Amino acid sequence: MAMGYACPVCEIPQQDAEHLAHHLAFTAMLHGDSHETWLDEHTPGWETAEPVSLGEEIAEDVAEAEYKQVFEDTSQSHNHAHEGDADHPGRPFDGATPPSQESRPASNRGVSAETSAVLEEARELTRQMLADDEADGEDETEAGAAESDADSSDDHA
C-alpha cells in the first residue's frame, strides 16, 4: 500500500502533494475545465506559484489516501538518466556519428530494410543541410567583413 493524494477533480492518484500540484496545474493550463476552476477557488494565484508551495497549499484541502497501486508516472523517484540524455546534447548528432540502433526509440527498432534506408537517407540529408547552413553563415560573415572594408576605403577616397 502506498499513501498519496487523489485529484479532487478527477480522482487520479498522485504520489505526493507536489505531483498533485503538477497534475492540477498542467491539466488546468492545457484544458482549463474543472481543474482550473478548482485551483481558482482553492488556491488563488496558482498560476505563478512554485510546485512545492502550491502542493503544500493544495494538501491542506485534500485528504491523503491509501492506494494499492502506485502508477509509473507517480513512482517514488525520478533520479535516473534517460537513454541519450548526455550522449547527444545540442543539435542532432553535433556532427558526430548518429546514435546506435540500440539507443534509438523502440518505435524505430525492427523496421524494414526499406524504412531503415529511408531513415538513413533522411539523416544524411539533415547532416548536409546543417553543414550547408553553417557554411552559408560563414560566407555571410566573410561577405559582411568585405563590404565593411570596401565602405571604409570609399570613405578615404
Global pTM? 0.45
Where in the chain are the domains? 2-74, 101-156
6-20 pLDDT tens trace? 899 998 888 889 999
Do 55 and 17 contact (CB within 8 A), yes or no? Answer: yes
What pLDDT, in 10s, does the model give residues 79-125?
555 444 454 444 444 444 444 444 455 455 567 888 888 888 888 88
Res 74: pLDDT: 47
Q: What is the pLDDT of residue 59?
A: 92
